[in-house]
Every structure is written in structure tokens, then in C-alpha cells.
Structure 1
């Protein structure tokens, strides 16, 4: 499986895309910031931030993402999560593209010290209109894991993802990112992630957002780890 993955990556890297008319677009930045603090009978503090970068060239799209979530209750830490993603998309025509992707997750309370996945795949812009944008991606890659209890693991991974944006009104937007990832050597090990949000634009650069995230792992790496984590956040959003 390792050899097949390396071969697929090399083939994808060397593919020459079909040329078609598309303009290079300026760099886009998207940032979100959320902070909640309560005191009294119960003291809680939650901080979350997200930064996304998108650059579109004539036949390439580059995407970077970073997310950080931290929380504590009564001065005891209960959330500490960092997620990083980088993806290069090579356009074959107006809708079809190949891509290489790497992502990294460090989650102190999930049972993993870290988990990183390197993958190559094919994507398609299924719907692309002024109001609706739906993109699908399928990839094969390799996962490396380190456990909080000690030890590590690595295996071949298959991933399917859908990214959807609905411009409901001129100042109102709905977004959904859904991902299913499984261990191809043991399909009882799989992960499901959903990130839903509604954004209300205040002016050209600022918006208010409400988001709900679900992170599910079918087989946690150690006893006492819950299968499902959920996060609800309200955020200030900045777009440039």
C-alpha cells in the first residue's frame, strides 16, 4: 500500500493540466475569533481562532488553514486543540482537479498526542453558481499517529469530503464542511467531522458567525475517551 500511495503521489505531481481561460485572483484571507468568559458559581473560559488563506492562480489553487481551540473550567484545562491544513489543487479543466494535501491535529483530550495525514486525490466542483458552491474530494493517503498513553501507529487512509456554501441573501451565508476518513486496513477505525456555520455580514470586511462542530471517532485509542466531541461558538469574522 505504501508503494501504491507513493506512485499515485508522483503521478499526480507530474500531471500536466489542460489549459483553459481563467484569471488569477488576489489572495483571500478569512479570520475568526471567539472568546467567552464567565465567573461566579462556575468559572469558564473559552478561546477559539481560525485563519484561512486562499490563492487562485491560472491553473492552481493553494489553501491553508489553521484552527486553535482552548478552554478551561474552574481553572482546570479541558480543551486544547490545534489543527493545521495545507492543500495544493491542480486544475484540469473548469471543474475537475487533482490535489496534494497534508493536515496535522494535536488534541490533548482526544487520546492522541498528534495525528497527521498526507494524501493525494481527485476533486470536482459539482455546483458552481452565484448562490451555491459544492465541491467534492476523494483521496488516498497515509496516517501517522502518536497516542497519549504511549505507542504509535501508521496505516493507509481513505478520505471523502464535501464542502458546500449557500449565499442565502446578500448578507447571509451558510457553510458546511463534511469529511469521512477511514483506516483502509481496518475499516472499524474511522472519523467523521462536520463543521456548520451561518455568517451575517456587517460590512465589506466584518461579519458575525455562529458555528457548530462535530468530531466523531468510532474507536477511541484508550478507555474513557468519548467518541463524540461537539463545539458551539459565536465569532467575529474578518474577510479581506
Structure 2
């Protein structure tokens, strides 16, 4: 492969033997290289086959971020589960941009509080752990001190990269809205670290993902429990009515009886 453009010591663009435009990352792969030089393939760590509609934006990004940010991003990308090495996910581009802007904000003493951080820690604990690892990489490589809030934002990038949409944010919005209605209808302050509440939030998370992915769920054997659970607590009917109104208004979806049954089952353990 021949180098087409050198971005920094660790990144360059090329055209592969089969004619595909690609970005190559690797420690020292661009050091002392010029366009037209042979690429040292032993140094290749990642190859991203850039899609046409993203190529210009990605190349512009590489031209405008520091080598330290690119190095940190490359190391963080390795943390992504099931990363196949192909630059066909807009989430990776968004992650690199976020890291660059977060560092710039910190230099200017501008901090963006993450109001969803408690929910992220509970609902996306694995991704948040990856986010904390990413934070350590950024702070070390870029000589900065990003706050824990940024680990939460990075965790959402990891979630969205695996789903190729805005699933993480919509799921958090769905769960938070459903939990707020519990507090409103039942006058109950939930202990969000209790096992029962965490299980309820986890159920809402997977319910939200089914809704957004247009997946249907049927379990006719449980429908007979519906009336029994409705009368289990005097506020259950009010809660389900308000929950359905919220979901229809915000997400254009109407819960079916099996879904409402599972919600009531989890609520019964909390109330």
C-alpha cells in the first residue's frame, strides 16, 4: 500500500490493493513518511474503510485534532466490543469529535454537567466502566483532567456505536420518564440503588429497546393476571394511564397487556 496523505506520526490515508479508500492507524506508521511512500504494513494496528459520505468529514477531523487526541481515540476505539475495524459507524467519528471538544471545553474552564450520569451508571454499567477506562486514557495521553461526567457521555457513545442509532439517549429518556411517573403517582421516593429498583429500571430499559427496535412481545398466558395486578394497588390504574400517555406522546407507541403486566409485577416488588 502507498501513503496518500500523512495526518500525523500515527495516522495516514491510503488506497488498498483492491481500490478501497482507507485510514490506517498505527504507532509511528506516519513518522518521516511522505505521500507516495510505501506503508510499513507491520505497523498497522487498525484499518478503517471510509464510506464515501463520511470521508470528507473524517479527513477534515484528522486535520483539525491534535496527534494526542487521535492517539487517545485510537486506544479507546480498541475498547469497543465487537469492533470489526471498518470505519462504517458514524458513532466512532462522533466519539472522536466529542473527545476533542471535551478537552477544548476543559481548557476553557467550561464544564457540561451530565444530568443522566446516575441513570447511566445503573443502566449501562459495563459501558460506564469502559467510559472510565477511556477517561484515564484521555487524561494521561492529553495531559488533561476531564471529570467523571465525561465518562458517562463516552459510555453513551459506546452504546450507540453498537446499535447504530440514538438508542441510548431515547432509552434513558424512556426510563427516567417512567420512573418520574412512579414518584408522581405513588408519592414514593425510590431507592435507585436497591435491587428491586435496579431490576425495575433494567426491565424498563429492555422494554424501551423493544419499542424502539419495533419488536413485538406476546405472552397470552399472563393476560389473565392483568386485572388482578391492576387492583393490587389503588394507584396502578392511574400510573398505567399516565405511562401510556407519556409513551404515546414521546415515542408513538402503545403498550400491550403483557408489557403492562411485567411493569406491574416489578412495581409490586417496590411498593
User: Counting strand residues as a fraction of each chain, which structure ranks higher?
Assistant: 1
- Higher gyration radius (CA): 2
Structure having the larger proportion of residues in helix: 2
Superposition TM-score tier, normalisation by shorter sequence: under 0.3
Tell me the TM-score normalised to structure 2 length: 0.24
